[in-house]
Structure 1
Amino acid sequence: MHHVLCGLAANRSLPSELVDRLIEVADADIAVDLAQRADLSRAQAVALASRVEDSAVPLAYAGLLTSDDVDPATRPDVALALLAERAGRVEWTRAFAEDPVVERREKLAACPGLPPDVVRVLATDPDVRVVAELALRTSAETATGLAGHPDAEVRRAVAANEATPPAVLAALLTGEGLPPARLCPVCAREQIPFTHDPHCSRLDCDLPSGASCDGSHESSTHETQRMALGNPATPTEAAVGFADHPSVLLRWALSGRRDLPPEVCARLASDPNPGVRADLAENPAIDDAVVRVLAGDREHEVRRRLAHNPLVPLDVLTGLARATRIGATLLPRIARASSDEVEELAASPDPAARLLVAQRCDLSSVVREALAADCDAKVAKSVAPHPGLPEGMLRAMLERHGAQVAARVAANPDATPALLETLARQKPSVRKALRAIAAHRNASVPALLACLADAQARPAAARHAALPPSVAEELLTDADWRVVEAAAANPSLPRDVMSALIPRPRSRETA
């Protein structure tokens, strides 16, 4: 029964009065689906939050509860969720800023639009976690004031805040112009010098592996520099000096910056760490010379990431596609290719080039149909799901390539009921095709019945609106709970069946 009720909670055809009844008997699992209903009213949301306390926070984030529905004294978690969505009351912020529970003050510090007086209180909070959370998201003015905080963790958060002024970020990189930090997570709890054992067995220890402090707070300073290098607001001239830094993590953070000059890109292209080179490869800042160096990189991931660079030249890209596993995805450079470039790629004798352009869904009918008739199964498979292909062409594709393209043909939104029935009757059956058919809007009753014979396609077929109501009702007792939930979520279920599935609350039965 539990799975039936979860399915009903997600059934888009469940009448409002039955939603009310379901709320009255809901548990935490049922509430998850009820809270996601697009037609849930505010009154129903209030009733659900009252029935299942755990549902109140997601309902608040979804905008289904208001400040009139919440008492912050009894439901502080819900009130903080509303504040996070700018839907709470200003007076709540002042109360939470003085709350004895640190976690609540920390959540408040992450909320946008806090009043200036509340920001000032949080900026002087005795718990560094609260101040660090504020520093991560606060305004330029407050971030500037916190950049010289005595705790290095607060400075690290300021370095990650994109609102922090460039001059302050440059100072955080070098330490120049700022008073020395007096504390860090290591020396705040350990006798220095101390280096955290990577194999530490203490259950109450939350220090990062290898964290260390000899009085200079070196690991926290390193993290501050890493955050600043990854911050796009940090001045270029301050960042590029780290291109030859001995720390691979700092060079790695630098390699993704979009403002790198050519000479720095060239140095990073020969970095010994493949992660640095991979991030650089996807960076639009690299020029043609660096692109061609990286195209010959020995590491597969570097070449794969280069293929995702939106500015990679087409000749390099086709070479990468020929020798690198890129996957069936529309690459940024292909998405922005001109019509002339698209036609050139589609007419290429190289199947790797045709495969690249076959990922685009906005092809002209001439190009699309040419690719659909391609002799290479991978090319035809890639274009098979594109809307606009005539049924005859999809059938010809099946005749030519068979099971290799069946699932993608079944995924074509224009596939007709007759074509889907043909695919469903294929012997041997193509399981991926059956799953696509079971979820297809054009699937007919015969096709869906065939899909029910497959364990993986069965849940999707059980949910399909075209399935006869009598069949959906039979599936409510299926041995597979996934099928049961899907059948209960089927919008074709008759209203009287839905009503009979929802138990009456005990209070009513005994009244």
Structure 2
Amino acid sequence: MSGHLLCGLAANPALPAELLDRLIDGLLARPASGPDESPAESPDEADAELALALSGRADLGPARVAALAACDEDAALHLARAGLLDAAGVDPAARPAVALALLDEGAGPPGWARLLAAHPDREIRRRLASVPGLPLDVLEALAADPDVEVVAELALWTTEPSVAARLAAHPHAEVRRGAASNEAAPPAALAALITGEGLAPARSCLVCDREEIPFTHDPYCPRTDCALRGGAACAGGHESTLHEIRQQAARNPATPTAAAASLDGHPSLLIRWALAERTDLPQELYARLAEDPIPGVRSEVAGNPAIGEPLIRAMAARCGKGAQGGAGGDEVAHSLARHPRLPLDVLAHLARETRIGPALLPRIAGAAPAELARAAASADSRVRMLVAQRRDLAPELRDTLAADTDAAVVKAVVPHPGLSEERLRAMVGLHGVRVLARVAANPDAPPALLEELARHDPPVRRAFREIAGHPNATAGALLPALADERARPRAARHPALPAAVLADLLTDPDPEVARAAAANPSLPVDVMTGLLGDLLTHRWGERDEASDRRPSGPRPGRPPRG
């Protein structure tokens, strides 16, 4: 198959303009549909992938953009979302999906929205309902749509408060469910969805629309035509949808605090979990949620930036090897460790009691220089390792951590920019293979050091993968990295590879490696030219004469999709 090589060339930033045009023309001039194919049938998968690869280039220009958009729907959608496609060249009736993408980017005229609001395909109308900034008359048309799922989508996405308020009181429960998640809905309307005060009962839901009630949807439903959500149930009161409405409203930050807090102690873990996400509840309510029997609820509370220090300390005291934290203690500890206002002494306790892992924690990221210095001087290497995750440490503090006797601390700090070659070599000398891959990832690692790391005996596979993508890597460092299966595709993209090696990699049995080599900007132009000629001849039977090349535009008899 030649598709991976064509896609590689299509993505090559050094592809000359004449070869780019030839590639686009070859795509446009692909053979017409066979006698047994529908004339509107989509291009094959490889052609679609090629068109998409071409659409990602930064040097297309208006004519090439129009040509690619005309020949492939996915490419047109990509170009529309990238702001490259001119709306003047798009027929919304023929290509509604592309028109929707342009409207979503604010690049389509309002008349398109009015046209699509009356489209016979309900999926088009449903997708239109999520487009921001629709004219009021289009909002009204969608709010009156005969398909309830279109109206529910509008209820979820509209930014017009009056429309959201009206849909929050819609007689269909599914529409109310959409409004319950919408932050543009007025607070009073959201409160009513929780309390029911002043709100007439819903008259229907998707379950009783489609099934004889009472009905409970089988979570392992074998029916291929069934679109009901898992757990959907209705016994005449639209029970599952009303539960979802309360859950969504409880999570919605626009819902008044008092209305959300009225759900305190609700038997549904999903509603309690939604409450635990809110940042405006009283501390005593958070304290009750912190005692929840479900670890996920407790973990959500632990990471909530609104909880105060007393509750943070109480929850941390229940975490750890000797504490009675119950099931899910590690999950709670991990969330606490990521709390942005966690006291540093509590973080030190958590680092000793649970495995936090190599991550830059919010509290460390926001720590003042004096706090960092104190933590970096901790006797506990796990605390020093957390400080070493920062990439903007003062040089003195960085170098102190780089000289640490604990390999885990050194591994954390070694990708930090600014480390000298002497310091990097000292790390390798002291800690060997334990830090070698991280040294190879340092942005300032010099070419000579990378070559030495690539030739290290025994080889370190992870170091090969870092070297393969390192901008300072030379051919001498990259050639050994090609021996590693996972590093090979990255190395094949590296512009420091010699031309002869790149030419060999074009025939590599791994398509990902060959594609990367074809996309390498160091591939010689004469190699690109010969490769493209061979590929086009093999793929579409193109002859080299310029007279065979078609002008840009859709192929007659094969209209664009949409």
Q: TM-score range by the shorter chain?
A: over 0.9
Shift of 1:506: 4.6
* TM-score, structure 1 normalization: 0.97
Query: Contact 1:170–1:234 at 8 Å: present in 2 too?
Result: yes
| C-alpha distance in 2 between matches for 1:469 and 1:174 | 71
- In structure 2, the CA distance between the partners of 1:168 and 1:374, relative to structure 1 (3 Å rule), is same
Which range moves more in the overlay, 408-417 or 496-505? 496-505
2:197 matches 1:176: yes
| C-alpha distance in 2 between matches for 1:370 and 1:509 | 64
2:38 matches 1:37: no
Aligned residue in 1 for 2:479:
449
Shift of 1:336: 0.5
| C-alpha distance in 2 between matches for 1:228 and 1:39 | 47
| C-alpha distance in 1 between matches for 2:288 and 2:381 | 35
Shift of 1:16: 2.3
Which range moves more in the overlay, 124-133 or 60-69? 60-69
Aligned residue in 1 for 2:213:
192
2:417 matches 1:396: no
Alignment gaps of 5+ in structure 2: 28-46, 319-324, 549-562
Superposed CA offset, 1:81-128 (max 9, x none): 111111111111111111111011111111111111111111110101
2:370 to 328, 334, 340: 340
Aligned residue in 1 for 2:156:
136
Specify the SS of the correspondent of 1:224: helix
1:80 to 100, 108, 111: 100
2:117 matches 1:103: no
> 1:241-320 alignment to 2 at 5 Å?
241-295=262-316, 296=318, 297-298=325-326, 299-320=329-350
Provide the aligned length of Structure 1 versus Structure 2.
511
- In structure 2, the CA distance between the partners of 1:253 and 1:136, relative to structure 1 (3 Å rule), is same
Aligned residue in 2 for 1:387:
417
Aligned residue in 2 for 1:475:
505
2:523 matches 1:493: yes
| C-alpha distance in 2 between matches for 1:94 and 1:52 | 25
Aligned residue in 2 for 1:236:
257
Superposed CA offset, 1:30-59 (max 9, x none): 122211112222221111122333321122
Query: Contact 2:87–2:108 at 8 Å: present in 1 too?
Result: yes
1:354 to 384, 387, 411: 384
2:359 matches 1:329: yes
Shift of 1:242: 1.5
| C-alpha distance in 2 between matches for 1:445 and 1:205 | 57
Letter in 2 for 1:52: D
Aligned residue in 2 for 1:11:
12
| C-alpha distance in 1 between matches for 2:313 and 2:26 | 64
Shift of 1:483: 1.3
Aligned residue in 2 for 1:67:
87
| C-alpha distance in 2 between matches for 1:190 and 1:445 | 67
Query: Contact 1:8–1:498 at 8 Å: present in 2 too?
Result: yes
Specify the SS of the correspondent of 1:427: coil
Letter in 1 for 2:212: Q
2:431 matches 1:424: no
Which range moves more in the overlay, 308-317 or 20-29? 20-29
Shift of 1:63: 1.3
Superposed CA offset, 1:380-426 (max 9, x none): 00000010001111111111111111111000000000110110010
Shift of 1:73: 1.8
Superposed CA offset, 1:254-304 (max 9, x none): 001011211001100100111100111100111122212322234211110
Shift of 1:316: 0.9
| C-alpha distance in 2 between matches for 1:93 and 1:85 | 13
2:396 matches 1:366: yes
| C-alpha distance in 1 between matches for 2:475 and 2:117 | 60
Which range moves more in the overlay, 138-147 or 43-52? 43-52
- In structure 2, the CA distance between the partners of 1:326 and 1:40, relative to structure 1 (3 Å rule), is farther
| C-alpha distance in 2 between matches for 1:310 and 1:204 | 46
Alignment gaps of 5+ in structure 1: none
Specify the SS of the correspondent of 1:25: helix
| C-alpha distance in 1 between matches for 2:376 and 2:128 | 55
Shift of 1:78: 0.8
Specify the SS of the correspondent of 1:188: helix
Specify the SS of the correspondent of 2:262: helix
Query: Contact 2:73–2:98 at 8 Å: present in 1 too?
Result: no
Aligned residue in 2 for 1:209:
230
| C-alpha distance in 2 between matches for 1:208 and 1:51 | 37
| C-alpha distance in 1 between matches for 2:210 and 2:344 | 55
| C-alpha distance in 2 between matches for 1:204 and 1:169 | 33
2:228 matches 1:220: no
Query: Contact 1:346–1:354 at 8 Å: present in 2 too?
Result: yes
| C-alpha distance in 2 between matches for 1:501 and 1:508 | 14
Aligned residue in 1 for 2:558:
none
Query: Contact 1:66–1:88 at 8 Å: present in 2 too?
Result: no
Letter in 1 for 2:503: E
Letter in 2 for 1:217: H
Specify the SS of the correspondent of 1:502: helix
Superposed CA offset, 1:291-345 (max 9, x none): 1232223421111011111011111111112222222111001000011000001
2:435 matches 1:414: no
| C-alpha distance in 2 between matches for 1:233 and 1:53 | 38
Query: Contact 2:52–2:74 at 8 Å: present in 1 too?
Result: no
Letter in 1 for 2:454: A
Specify the SS of the correspondent of 1:232: coil
| C-alpha distance in 2 between matches for 1:131 and 1:91 | 20
Specify the SS of the correspondent of 1:187: helix
1:158 to 175, 179, 186: 179
| C-alpha distance in 1 between matches for 2:6 and 2:286 | 58
Letter in 1 for 2:234: C
Specify the SS of the correspondent of 1:312: coil
Shift of 1:453: 1.9
Shift of 1:429: 0.6
What percentage of aligned pairs have identical amino acids? Answer: 58
Superposed CA offset, 1:439-465 (max 9, x none): 100001111111112222111111111
Specify the SS of the correspondent of 1:249: helix
Aligned residue in 2 for 1:54:
74
Specify the SS of the correspondent of 2:342: coil
Specify the SS of the correspondent of 1:258: coil
